[in-house]
Amino acid sequence: MAAVTVAIHGAEGAAASGAGIGDRSSRLVDAIRQVLRDHHQPALVRADSERVVALLALQVAPDTSRRGANAAVGKALRDVHAAAVASGVGTVTSGAGETHSRLAEAAAAIEEAAQAAQLAGILYGPGQHASLADLGLYRLLCHLRSNDELRAFFSQTLGSLVAYDRRTGGDLLATLEAYFASRANLSETARRLNLHRNSLLYRVRRIEEVGQVDLQDPEALLALQVALKARHLLDDQPR
């Protein structure tokens, strides 16, 4: 049996329902308990300010992989989101922590779930869910979000491209994102951006010239990818 913690944060649309925080939390607790009963998942559920925390005794086969366990939690959370809207709570954002085998690790799991929910709201917007196990590098960057070093690193790595896009209305950052999402495959990048290959090659050259970077240099590529992820966590940077 594994312990999984899920934190579900206050509703974006709750104000429209006219319900207070306490009433919404109570409704959310009831909705979560019902969904988890339907999923045959024993759990401890409690309200904590504007969020509700559920500690699940995850009912999965002993040989279930971490991915399989996360999928089971994700399915339950999708139903929780629907139940929250149906019960008048509104739109909620949620996160799941890692799977743990000891009850003594419950506090850590709760913190993980809260971090995952925070990142879900930042990266994907209201009404979304994230599992900490799937957030990769964002787990580390989230802890550096208020650190001046992260902002300095971003400015040093991508600042010139940001300035160029703002000055010219260009799309160098979006092109770079698509380039990495396509695993540096130029044909796939062109397809993603709906560009002719020659137009893409021009943008790639501009990225190297404006950013003073070599896209064949592995160290430079790593720095660019980290900086692109960091910009999603910095409030004043373009998404």
Q: Give the confidence band of 48 by pLDDT, cuts at 50, 70, 90.
A: confident
pLDDT above 70 covers a percentage of the chain that reads: 86
What would the pLDDT profile of 153-171 be if each residue is shown by its tens digit?
A: 999 999 999 999 999 999 9
pLDDT tens for each residue of 99-135:
887 878 888 888 898 899 889 989 998 889 998 888 9
- The three-state DSSP-derived secondary structure of the chain is CEEEEEEEECCCCHHHHCCCHHHHHHHHHHHHHHHHHHCCCCEEEEEECCEEEEEEEECCCCCCCHHHHHHHHHHHHHHHHHHHHHCCCCCCEEEECCCECCHHHHHHHHHHHHHHHHHHHHHHCCCCEEEHHHCCCHHHHHHCCCCHHHHHHHHHHHHHHHHHHHHHCCCHHHHHHHHHHCCCCHHHHHHHHCCCHHHHHHHHHHHHHHHCCCCCCHHHHHHHHHHHHHHCCCCCCCC
pTM assigned to the model: 0.78
Whether residue 214 is predicted with pLDDT greater than 50 in this model: the reply is yes
At 8 the pLDDT is 61
Could you tell me the CATH superfamily of domain 2-135?
Reverse transcriptase/Diguanylate cyclase domain (3.30.70.270)
Average pLDDT over residues 208-232: 96
**From the candidate CATH numbers 3.30.1180.20, 1.10.10.2840, 1.10.150.530, 1.10.10.60, the one assigned to the domain spanning 142-231:** 1.10.10.2840
**Residue 23: what pLDDT?**
80
Share of the chain above pLDDT 90, in %: 44
Give the mean model confidence (pLDDT) for residues 26-43: 89
> What is the model's pLDDT at position 221?
96
Q: Where are the domains of the chain?
A: 2-135, 142-231
